[in-house]
C-alpha cells in the first residue's frame, strides 16, 4: 500500500498537487473534530480564508489498523479530489501543506458552515425559490460525481457545506469508485439506504445516494434534521421503522412536485428511485418556473384540493405498463394499469403554464359536478408523472373516440345502435345543461366509446353559463354554431350552441362519415362562409324521417329554431320505444314554432358577419386570414365575403337548407 508520504511527495514533485509552506498560514482556529481528525480554518497569504483538514492529530489514540486505514483513505480522497476539482458544488481542494509531522489538506473554506447549522440560522428567511436552488446545488454536485461513476456513500447535512449561499458537497473520504465499493460502514441512520438494514452485505450503489438526496430534499423543505421531533423511544426504533417504510411527513406548503420528487427518491425499492438526471431535470423545471400571483393561485388550488381530499391523489409509481395512446398540444394521454389489477386508467398529462392550468382546473370543477352520469367520462383524480407533469386520472375508453369508432365499426351498427348512441350523447349534454354548464367544444374527438357506450369528455373549454361571454372558440368548424362564425366578437355561446353541435354529431352517427369529408379535415374560410349561408350535410339514404327531422332542427341557423336538449332526449326515447312513450313529435315541434314566432316578432334581423378576427386552433378556420382577405388582399374572396354578408337573409342559398 502506498504511504501518504510517498504518494504526496511524488504528486508534489510532478506538480499534480500544489504545495503550500505551513508558515504561509496564520490565525489557525479549530472549527470541527471527528473520529479521525479535525478541521481548522486559517488565513492563507494572498488567498484568504481556507480550511485545513488533518486526517488524524498528534494526540489521537488510534490503533495501528485505524492508522493504516486513515492513511489509505487520505490517499483515495486526494486522488478523487484531484479528479473532480474545479467543479461547481464540490468542495474544492486547493493543495496540501505539512506541519511538523502530518500532511494536511488545504480546502475551499465554506463561510456559512454546514447545511444543518445553516438551516437552523437562516430557515425562516428562506423562500421556496431559495430552497429549490439549494436542492439543485446538491443535485448538480451529485450529478457530476455520478457521471464519473463515483458514489458518495455518506450524504447528510453535516457533509454539505455552505459558502456565500452556495451548497458544496464535502467529506470525500467516503467517496468510492463504483468498482471499489463493497459494503457500507456505519453512517447516520436517517440517511441510509434501507436496503442496508435488510441485507448486511448489501452493496451500496448510485441509488443509495439518491435515497440520501431525498432525505436532504425533505430537510431543506422542513428546516430541521429528519426525525428530530420524535421521542427517544421512537428514535431507538428508527432502524426498524425506516426498514419498514416509515418516512417523515411532508411539510405543509411544500410544492406538490417537490414533495413527489423526494418521495420517489426515498422509495424503499432502489429500482423505483429516479436517477440523478431525472432529479436534476425536475428541479431545473421548478427552478425556472416564473410563478406569478395568478399561476400561484392555480397551483395552490390544486395542492390544497389534494390536501383536503377534494381531489384524490394517485402515486404515479402505482401505475404499471404505461402506453402512450394520444398526443396533443396540452401533453400526452397514457393508458396504464393501476397497481396489479387489470383495470385501465387514462392519464392525461398537461403543461403547467397559466392558461393550461386555468382550463384544467375548470375541467376538474365541472367534471366533479356531473361525474355521476354514466355517459360522462369519469374523473378519478390526479397524479404527477416522472417528468413532474400533472396528469388527470380518467376513465379509460376501450374503443377510442367516436370518430375512430365509426371509422372501424360503422358497418356493425344497426339503427337501434345508432339511436342508442344519439340518446346517450343527448342525455349527457342535457345533464350538463341542467347544471347550467355549456360544453362549447362538442365534436367527434371529444366523445369516447367504452363498452359500446358513449362518454362525453374534455370539459376544458366548458363554462358555467354566466362565465361564457368572452369565451374563445377552439372547436372544429363543422360543429361550431354558425351564429358564432358570423359574429365571433359579440355572439355568446349558449346551450343552443351545444344543440347545434349535437345535430352535426347525430348526422355523423347516421352516416359514419366525418362532416364535409371532401375537405379532408383541412377546413378553410370557404367552408365557414358556406355554413353561414346555410350549407349542411345531405340526409343519408335510409335514415328514419323522424331522426333526420330532429337533427336538421338541431342545426338550424337561428338558435331559437333549435329544440332544447331535454326535448331532443324525449324524441329519441320515443323513437327507441314508441309503445312505451306517449311523446308526440308534432306537439313538441308545435311548441317550438310558437316560441319561434314570438322570437321573430320581437327580434331584429341579423346584420350578418361584422368582425371575424380571431384564430382557431388546428383543424379550424383561420379568422385572421379572413380578416386579411376582407382588407383587400384577395379581391375574389373579398367579394364572396361581401356577398355572404349582404345576401344571407335576402336570397335562398344554393346549398340545401333544413
Q: What is the pLDDT of residue 339?
A: 85
- The CA distance from 654 to 636, in Å, is 18
Q: Give the three cell numbers for residue 645.
A: 354578408
Residue corresponding to grid cell 489498523: 65
Contact indicator for 608, 645 with CB cutoff of 8 Å: yes
For 457-508, write each residue's pLDDT tens digit. Answer: 887 555 544 444 444 443 489 999 999 999 888 899 999 999 999 999 999 9
Confidence of residue 262 (pLDDT cuts 50, 70, 90): very high
Instruction: Please check the confidence at residue 53 and state whether its pLDDT lies above 60.
Output: yes
More confident residue, 298 or 446: 446
Distance CA 139, CA 280 (A): 6
C-alpha to C-alpha distances, 524 to 75, 253, 614, nearest whole angstrom: 74, 49, 14
Of residues 91 and 655, more confidently modeled: 91
| Rounded percentage of the chain residues whose pLDDT exceeds 90 | 46
pLDDT digits 0-9 by tens, 549-596: 999 999 999 999 999 999 999 999 999 987 666 555 555 555 555 544
Q: pLDDT tens across 93-136, in order?
A: 888 898 887 788 898 999 999 999 999 999 999 999 999 999 99
User: β-strand 160-163 against 93-98: which pairing, if any?
Assistant: unpaired
pLDDT of residue 194: 94
Per-residue cell: 65? 489498523
Rounded CA separation 356/335 (Å): 21
Q: What is the largest CA-CA distance in the chain?
A: 111
Q: Please report which residue ranges of 349-487 form alpha helices under DSSP H.
A: 354-370, 402-409, 415-434, 482-486
- Please tell me the predicted confidence (pLDDT) of residue 649: 39
Q: What is the average per-residue pLDDT within 192-203? A: 90
Given pLDDT bands bounded at 50, 70 and 90, which one contains residue 257? confident
What per-residue confidence (pLDDT) applies to 31?
A: 87
Q: What is the mean pLDDT of residues 373-392?
A: 88
Q: Which pLDDT belongs to residue 480?
A: 94
- The answer to whether 88 and 138 are in contact (CB under 8 A) is no
DSSP one-letter code for 629: I
Binding-site entries: 348
Percent of the chain with pLDDT over 70: 75
List all residues 6 or more positions away from 541 whose beta carbon is below 8 Å from its beta carbon: none
Q: Which residue has the cell 418516512?
A: 247
Q: What is the pTM of this model?
A: 0.60
pLDDT at 58: 46
Q: Among 58-67, 179-188, 266-275, 306-315, which range has the highest average pLDDT?
A: 266-275
Backbone phi, psi, residue 108, to 5°: -55, 135
What residues have CB less than 8 Å from 70, skipping those under 6 apart? Answer: 36, 37, 55, 56, 62
**Domains, in order of start, for the chain:** 1-109 (3.30.200.20), 111-289 (1.10.510.10), 294-395 (3.30.200.20), 402-647 (1.10.510.10)
Q: If you average pLDDT over every residue of the chain, what do you get?
A: 80
Q: What is the pLDDT of residue 298?
A: 78
**b/e sequence 303-341, b meaning 16+ C-beta within 10 Å:** bebbeeeebebbebbebeeeeebeeeeebbbbbbbeeee
Q: Where are the beta strands (DSSP E) in 502-656?
A: none
Question: Region 281-286: what's the mean pLDDT?
Answer: 89
- Using pLDDT thresholds of 50, 70 and 90, give the confidence band for residue 69: low
Greater confidence, 51 or 56? 51
The whole-number average pLDDT for the span 218-246 is 89
Give the pLDDT band (50/70/90) at residue 178.
Answer: very low
Sign of CA dihedral 423, 424, 430, 433: negative
Asked if 312 contacts 380 with a C-beta cutoff of 8 angstroms, the reply is yes
Q: Across residues 22-47, what is the average pLDDT? A: 86
pLDDT at 208: 95
Nearest to 440 by CA among 455, 456, 416: 456
Q: How many residues in total does the chain contain?
A: 658
Residues annotated in a binding site for ATP: 348
Q: How far apart are CA 32 and CA 10, in angstroms?
A: 30
Query: Residue 83: helix, strand or coil by DSSP?
Result: helix
Residue 506 near residue 550, CB atoms below 8 Å:
yes
pLDDT in tens, 602-630: 444 333 322 222 222 233 344 444 444 33
Neighbours of 595 (CB within 10 A): 14
- Indicate the angle between helix axes 565-576 and 415-434, nearest 10 degrees: 150
Mean pLDDT of 355-371: 85
- Residue 261, by phi and psi: left (phi above 0), alpha (psi -120 to 50) or beta? alpha
pLDDT over threshold 90, residue 403? yes
Amino acid at each position: 500500500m502506498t504511504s501518504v508520504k510517498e504518494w504526496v511527495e511524488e504528486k508534489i514533485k510532478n506538480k499534480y498537487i500544489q504545495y503550500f509552506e505551513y508558515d504561509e498560514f496564520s490565525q489557525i482556529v479549530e472549527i470541527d473534530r471527528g473520529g479521525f481528525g479535525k478541521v481548522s480554518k486559517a488565513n492563507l497569504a494572498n488567498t484568504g480564508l481556507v480550511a485545513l483538514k488533518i486526517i488524524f492529530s498528534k494526540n489521537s489514540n488510534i490503533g495501528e489498523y485505524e492508522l493504516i486505514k486513515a492513511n489509505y483513505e487520505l490517499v483515495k480522497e486526494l486522488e478523487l479530489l484531484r479528479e473532480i476539482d474545479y467543479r461547481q458544488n464540490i468542495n474544492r481542494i486547493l493543495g496540501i501543506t505539512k506541519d511538523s509531522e502530518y500532511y494536511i489538506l488545504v480546502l475551499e473554506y465554506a463561510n456559512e458552515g454546514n447545511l444543518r447549522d445553516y438551516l437552523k440560522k437562516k430557515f425562516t428567511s428562506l423562500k421556496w425559490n431559495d430552497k429549490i436552488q439549494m436542492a439543485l446545488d446538491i443535485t448538480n454536485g451529485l450529478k457530476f460525481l455520478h457521471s464519473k461513476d463515483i458514489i458518495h456513500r455518506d450524504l447528510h447535512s453535516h457533509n454539505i457545506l455552505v459558502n456565500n449561499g452556495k451548497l458544496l458537497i464535502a467529506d470525500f473520504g467516503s467517496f468510492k469508485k463504483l468498482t471499489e465499493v463493497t459494503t457500507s460502514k456505519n453512517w447516520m441512520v436517517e440517511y441510509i439506504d434501507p436496503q442496508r438494514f435488510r441485507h448486511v452485505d448489501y452493496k451500496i450503489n448510485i441509488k443509495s445516494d439518491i435515497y440520501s438526496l431525498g432525505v436532504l430534499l425533505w430537510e431543506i423543505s422542513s428546516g430541521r434534521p429528519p426525525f428530530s421531533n420524535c421521542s427517544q423511544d421512537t428514535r431507538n426504533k428508527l432502524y426498524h421503522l425506516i426498514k419498514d417504510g416509515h418516512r417523515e411527513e411532508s411539510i405543509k406548503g411544500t410544492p406538490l412536485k417537490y414533495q413527489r420528487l423526494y418521495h420517489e427518491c426515498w422509495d424503499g425499492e432502489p429500482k423505483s428511485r429516479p436517477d440523478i438526471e431525472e432529479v436534476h431535470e425536475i428541479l431545473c423545471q421548478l427552478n425556472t418556473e416564473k410563478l406569478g400571483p395568478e399561476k400561484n393561485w392555480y397551483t395552490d388550488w390544486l395542492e390544497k384540493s389534494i390536501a383536503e381530499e377534494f381531489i384524490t391523489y394517485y402515486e404515479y409509481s402505482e401505475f404499471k405498463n404505461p402506453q402512450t395512446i394520444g398526443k396533443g398540444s396540452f401533453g400526452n394521454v397514457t393508458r396504464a394499469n393501476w397497481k396489479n389489477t387489470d383495470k385501465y386508467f387514462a392519464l392525461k398529462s398537461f403543461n403547467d403554464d397559466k392558461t393550461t392550468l386555468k382550463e384544467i382546473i375548470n375541467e376538474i370543477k365541472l367534471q366533479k359536478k356531473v361525474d355521476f352520469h354514466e355517459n360522462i367520462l369519469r374523473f378519478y383524480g390526479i397524479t404527477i408523472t416522472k417528468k413532474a407533469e400533472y396528469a388527470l386520472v380518467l376513465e379509460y375508453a376501450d374503443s377510442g373516440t367516436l370518430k375512430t369508432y365509426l371509422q372501424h365499426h360503422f358497418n356493425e351498427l344497426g339503427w337501434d345502435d345508432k339511436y342508442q348512441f344519439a340518446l346517450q350523447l343527448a342525455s349527457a349534454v342535457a345533464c350538463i345543461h341542467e347544471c347550467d354548464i355549456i360544453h362549447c367544444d362538442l365534436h367527434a374527438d371529444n366523445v369516447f366509446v367504452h363498452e359500446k357506450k358513449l362518454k362525453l369528455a374534455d370539459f376544458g373549454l366548458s363554462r358555467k353559463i354566466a362565465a361564457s361571454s368572452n369565451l374563445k372558440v377552439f372547436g372544429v368548424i363543422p360543429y361550431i354554431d354558425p351564429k358564432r362564425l358570423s359574429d365571433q366578437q359579440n355572439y355568446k355561446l349558449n346551450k343552443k350552441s351545444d344543440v347545434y353541435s349535437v345535430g352535426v354529431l347525430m348526422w355523423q352517427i347516421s352516416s359514419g362519415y366525418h362532416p364535409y369529408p371532401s375537405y379532408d379535415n383541412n377546413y378553410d374560410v370557404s367552408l365557414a362562409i358556406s355554413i353561414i349561408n346555410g350549407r349542411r350535410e345531405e340526409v343519408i339514404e335510409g335514415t328514419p324521417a323522424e331522426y333526420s327531422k330532429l337533427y336538421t332542427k338541431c342545426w338550424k341557423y337561428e338558435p331559437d329554431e333549435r329544440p332544447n336538449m331535454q326535448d331532443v332526449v324525449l324524441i329519441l326515447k320515443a323513437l327507441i320505444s314508441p309503445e312505451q312513450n306517449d311523446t308526440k313529435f308534432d306537439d313538441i315541434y308545435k311548441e317550438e314554432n310558437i316560441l319561434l314566432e314570438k322570437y321573430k316578432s320581437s327580434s331584429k334581423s341579423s346584420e350578418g358577419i361584422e368582425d371575424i378576427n380571431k384564430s382557431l386552433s388546428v383543424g379550424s378556420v383561420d379568422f385572421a386570414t379572413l380578416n386579411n382577405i376582407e382588407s383587400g388582399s384577395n379581391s375574389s374572396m373579398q367579394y364572396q365575403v361581401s356577398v355572404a354578408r349582404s345576401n344571407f337573409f335576402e336570397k335562398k342559398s344554393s346549398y340545401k337548407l333544413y
